[in-house]
Structure 1
Amino acid sequence: MKRKYYKTGELSKIYKIGRDSLKYYEKLGLLNPTRDKNTYRMYTIKDICNLSLIKELRSLDFSMQRIKEYLKNRNIETTKKMLKEELSLIEQKLEELLTHKDSINQRLKSINNAIDNTNVNRIELIYINKRKAIARKTNGEFTENVDYLIQRLNENLEENFYILGNSNFGGVFDSKSIDRGVYNNYKSILCFIEDDSVRSNFILDEGYYVTYTYRGDYKQSSRVLPMMYKFIKANNYVVLGDPIEIYKIDIYETDTEDEYVTQVQIPVKLLMDC
């Protein structure tokens, strides 16, 4: 003989859902348990059906209001409409997951490149193509924590970016502070973005850059920048703009400072181009 009623504890155990949630659904009118002679809540097969639907729809982030509308007016037509909405949301989630997968693969590639294909502790002259970025200005009169600035930069983006393994973050030094012998002030923090993106508010022109990559604590600018400017002067290059530093591997990837990888870049014009 089929059972007609189920107790709160049974539903809570079967569906792995708290008693408070069951009471909340009851308050919304989504579940309608009766009471036995001991005033215990007793749920019907219809309540169980509704609870299954609630769990399914909540897993796809349907609002409680939308779920309530559907359960209060459930027929073939509204079910077909709801199923189409579910398919649309699933497609959206699949697209988000594929984007996340691509991002993870790119971040793994970035970490491997930083480890395997980086010349450390050597000044180099390299040609870099134009890069687009989103930048946020900082207060040049004091140094803010770089990681804090990265979080602030997130406010400028339409969607969240992934921090872990993302070597697209950088800081733009304040050249005027450097002239005064202050090497730890930034004009802005930036995040490089795809070439076809229309959200850019900062462009780094293509051309030659004097670069230096080092491991360890990324607060080594007071040592690195004077050395790079000395190299530029010795080779009669012309500085074209503010230095930038790129955080290839930092605190988001490792707690071991010796594993940090930072690259400083200074745009220059060669004597032959003058």
Structure 2
Amino acid sequence: MKYKIGEVSRILNIPIDTIRYLEKKNIVNPSKDSNNYRFYEAWDINFLTEYKKFRSFDFSVPEVEEILHSDNLENFIGRISKRQKYFEDKLKYYTFLKQKNQKYLDSLNNIKKNLWKCSFTECPSIYYFIHRFNYKYAGKEKFDGLFETWLNYFPFIDTIVEMQLDAVMNRDTNNNYEWGFSIKKKYADAFNIPLNSDKVNHVKSTQSVYTVICAGEKGSFSLKLLNKALEFIEDNGCELAGNVIGNLLARVHEPNGYFRYIEVWLPVKKIDKF
């Protein structure tokens, strides 16, 4: 029995335009009558069914065309074997992504609880590099491809702000800060993200004060947003012991304006009174 293209479209739930496209890509080759109308037999529909099957394996259209019209049994087995490695890599990716997203979700759910509140904790161990100084980006050529490489690994890359110790201590007259990208070592190891550049810095886990700060509209970010945390440090007999590291959690729009929530870690040490 022969079927018109519209009937095939309804049978397989494939748009007519897609069926025509697949003909151009040599997936299916229907017969045509004297008026150039296409007719599809069960044989042709089999190829379209197989197309849907192998596309569900994430094979590209050219790969499906090779499977359907070129592969012998050995090549076909080899192709499916390689697909197994592809799925294993995908599983690893999404396993890590699920973990990363859960931690991110936990941080987002705790924003209101931690906003302007301070507590002692260990800062996470991270690797990072700086690409923006205040409002000026460094030229990408200075990073030997590092910038572009790390961009490819979102969402495992976070947006980091670094506030130098000297600038923080002189925040009434100095509002310099730096932005960049950061990543935890386990993600870098899992996906072979380069950490060996001399542009990549390492923050070791150390005793810190943790808080969440909030900046508003453009130009509102200020080192003075750390005032409450610095008061907390002083009140607890400690002092700032290094550069402050922050992680941008969210940019959101509320009825009363634009908000940027940033979690920060301020490294501390006890003041020696003697």
7 and 259 in structure 1: CA distance in 2 versus 1, 3 angstrom threshold: same
* CA–CA distance in structure 2, aligned partners of residues 192 and 136 of structure 1: 12
* CA–CA distance in structure 1, aligned partners of residues 210 and 103 of structure 2: 23
* CA–CA distance in structure 2, aligned partners of residues 25 and 195 of structure 1: 43
Task: Give the 3-state SS of the residue equivalent to 1:101 in structure 2.
Answer: helix
Partner of 1:267: 267
**Given that residues 60 and 90 in structure 1 are in contact (C-alpha distance below 8 angstroms), is that contact kept between their aligned partners in structure 2?**
no
46 and 264 in structure 1: CA distance in 2 versus 1, 3 angstrom threshold: same
**Given that residues 162 and 177 in structure 2 are in contact (C-alpha distance below 8 angstroms), is that contact kept between their aligned partners in structure 1?**
yes
1:53 and 2:50 equivalent?
Answer: yes
* Aligned-pair CA distance for 1:215: 5.2
1:133 and 2:127 equivalent?
Answer: yes
Cα offsets for 1:184-210 (capped at 9, x unmatched): 543232334145845442222343434
* CA–CA distance in structure 2, aligned partners of residues 73 and 26 of structure 1: 16
* CA–CA distance in structure 1, aligned partners of residues 187 and 15 of structure 2: 47
Partner amino acid, structure 2, of 1:271: I
Partner of 1:10: 7
Partner amino acid, structure 1, of 2:225: V
* CA–CA distance in structure 1, aligned partners of residues 187 and 20 of structure 2: 50
Task: Give the 3-state SS of the residue equivalent to 2:14 in structure 1.
Answer: coil
Partner amino acid, structure 1, of 2:202: I
Partner of 1:111: 108
* Aligned-pair CA distance for 1:138: 0.7
* CA–CA distance in structure 1, aligned partners of residues 77 and 204 of structure 2: 53
Q: Identical aligned pairs, as a percentage?
A: 23
**Given that residues 129 and 180 in structure 2 are in contact (C-alpha distance below 8 angstroms), is that contact kept between their aligned partners in structure 1?**
yes
**Given that residues 130 and 206 in structure 1 are in contact (C-alpha distance below 8 angstroms), is that contact kept between their aligned partners in structure 2?**
yes
**Given that residues 126 and 184 in structure 2 are in contact (C-alpha distance below 8 angstroms), is that contact kept between their aligned partners in structure 1?**
yes
* Aligned-pair CA distance for 1:15: 2.5
Partner of 1:245: 246
Q: Aligned residue pairs: how many?
A: 253
Partner amino acid, structure 2, of 1:170: I
1:121 and 2:116 equivalent?
Answer: yes
**Given that residues 213 and 226 in structure 2 are in contact (C-alpha distance below 8 angstroms), is that contact kept between their aligned partners in structure 1?**
no
TM-score by length of 1: 0.70
**Given that residues 159 and 179 in structure 2 are in contact (C-alpha distance below 8 angstroms), is that contact kept between their aligned partners in structure 1?**
no
* CA–CA distance in structure 2, aligned partners of residues 94 and 234 of structure 1: 48
* CA–CA distance in structure 2, aligned partners of residues 143 and 18 of structure 1: 49
**Given that residues 169 and 192 in structure 1 are in contact (C-alpha distance below 8 angstroms), is that contact kept between their aligned partners in structure 2?**
no
TM-score by length of 2: 0.70
**Given that residues 156 and 183 in structure 2 are in contact (C-alpha distance below 8 angstroms), is that contact kept between their aligned partners in structure 1?**
no
2:81 to 67, 72, 84: 84
1:68 to 61, 65, 68: 65
Gaps in structure 2 of 5+ consecutive residues: 138-145
* CA–CA distance in structure 1, aligned partners of residues 97 and 159 of structure 2: 18
Partner of 2:143: none
